[in-house]
């Protein structure tokens, strides 16, 4: 191993910079050359490679977003696109690639590694926490804290006006952000993709007679299927006696300084990615299970579903009475 590339892809997540820094410095520590690849798969195809020194990653650990920038790239979804990407890696004598991103980015990495002779290591970077094989993904802790801070503020208004607030959070296919922010903010309910049908969840919330025992309520909704607006409209129509409002938190959930937990997770995963390459591993994702850093085949991380613990689901039901 003489030279590696590192890129960030998919949605940005706080802590990605700490991971870039850790990969870069660990590789330099091993005596390897490192290319930072700008704008994810798109930048790889269009040869946006920059040789990194230890200084390239100075003063970034505390910054949100990604200094390498990120992109979504349709061309990389095609075999021709991935062949172009591979040719660029060969042209620059890159021996292995570290990819920091979510489910889609790691699926792309896996495709590339199966079609061409290039080892890839995945680092789970997404606020959604939807990757199997790791308790937490980089960015999740920071996003969760941001949501909780916002919901605390919304609660002041909800209480003052006796309103039901539907607060929409990110997580199209995974309810970790919604469910856990609901627990942490003391919300009355969460509507998440993993649970029941839409009808069940809303009916359950209303059926519990929230408004009989409380003057205001907060329901956290995952962004899927029309999200908070959809549920608010339904409640307005079916229960016109309620004063209903919607708040869509949107992109502010992605930004901001990474939490200490995300910085530490990203740093440990970045170091572990280089260690995995040094040990001759290929096509694995770095995970953290019960605070132990592990490796698992990327194909498992992208194919298997991450299950939400039952107690996390029940906890909210009990505590919101
Ligand atoms: P987030 O969880 O934050 O959305 P992500 O990594 O899942 O991050 P995607 O938009 O799904 O984000 O994927 C990022 C990029 O990875 C895509 O734009 C595409 O270039 C590539 N990609 C995604 N899925 C595949 C796939 N099945 N095969 C090849 N490339 C893919």
Residue among 108, 118, 66 at smallest CA distance from 270: 66
Among 7, 10, 74, which is best to mutate for testing ligand 1, by the most ligand atoms less than 8 A from CB? Answer: 10
What is the pLDDT at residue 199?
A: 61
Q: What percentage of the chain carries pLDDT values higher than 70? A: 95
Residue 169 near residue 202, CB atoms below 8 Å: no
Active-site amino acid positions: 128
CB of 76 closer than 6 angstroms to any ligand 1 atom = yes
* Lowest-pLDDT choice from 4-13, 119-128, 307-316: 307-316
Q: What percentage of the chain carries pLDDT values higher than 90? A: 79
pLDDT band at 211 (very low <50, low <70, confident <90, very high): low
pLDDT tens string 131-181: 999 999 999 999 999 999 999 999 998 888 878 899 999 998 899 999 999
Domains and CATH numbers, the chain: 3-139+258-303 (3.40.50.450), 140-254 (3.40.50.460)
pLDDT band at 6 (very low <50, low <70, confident <90, very high): very high
Evaluate if residue 96 carries a pLDDT over 80. yes
What is the pLDDT at residue 212?
A: 57
* Lowest-pLDDT choice from 66-70, 121-125, 196-200, 285-289: 196-200
* Chain-centre distance for alpha carbon 275: 23
CB of 140 closer than 6 angstroms to any ligand 1 atom = no
CB of 9 closer than 6 angstroms to any ligand 1 atom = yes
């Amino acid at each position: 191993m003489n030279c590696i590339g590192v890129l960030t892809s998919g949605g940005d997540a706080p802590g990605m910079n700490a991971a870039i820094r850790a990969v870069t410095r660990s590789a330099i520590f091993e005596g390897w050359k490192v290319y930072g690849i700008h704008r994810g798969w798109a930048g790889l195809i269009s040869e946006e490679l920059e040789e990194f020194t230890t200084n390239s990653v100075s003063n970034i650990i505390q910054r949100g977003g990604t200094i390498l920038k990120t992109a979504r790239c349709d061309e990389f979804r095609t075999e021709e696109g991935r062949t172009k990407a591979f040719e660029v890696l060969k042209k620059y004598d890159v021996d292995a690639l570290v990819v920091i991103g979510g489910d889609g980015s790691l699926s792309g990495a896996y495709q590339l590694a199966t079609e061409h002779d290039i080892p890839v290591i995945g680092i789970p970077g997404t606020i959604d926490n939807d990757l199997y094989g790791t308790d937490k993904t980089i960015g999740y802790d920071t996003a969760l804290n941001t949501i909780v801070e916002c919901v605390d503020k919304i609660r002041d208004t909800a209480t003052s006006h006796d309103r039901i607030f539907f607060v929409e959070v990110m997580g199209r296919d995974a309810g970790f952000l919604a469910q856990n922010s609901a627990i942490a903010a003391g919300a009355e309910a969460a509507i998440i993709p993993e649970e029941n049908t839409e009808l069940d969840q809303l009916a359950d919330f209303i059926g519990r007679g929230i408004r009989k025992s409380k003057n205001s309520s907060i329901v956290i909704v995952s962004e899927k299927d029309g999200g908070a607006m959809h549920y608010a409209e339904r409640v307005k129509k079916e229960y016109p006696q309620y004063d209903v409002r919607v708040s869509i938190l949107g992109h502010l959930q992605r930004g901001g300084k990474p939490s200490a937990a995300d910085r530490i997770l990203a740093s440990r995963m970045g170091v572990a990615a280089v260690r995995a390459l040094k040990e001759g591993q290929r096509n694995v994702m770095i995970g953290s299970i019960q605070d132990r850093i592990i490796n698992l085949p990327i194909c498992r991380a992208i194919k298997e579903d991450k299950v939400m613990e039952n107690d996390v689901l029940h906890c909210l039901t009990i505590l919101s009475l």
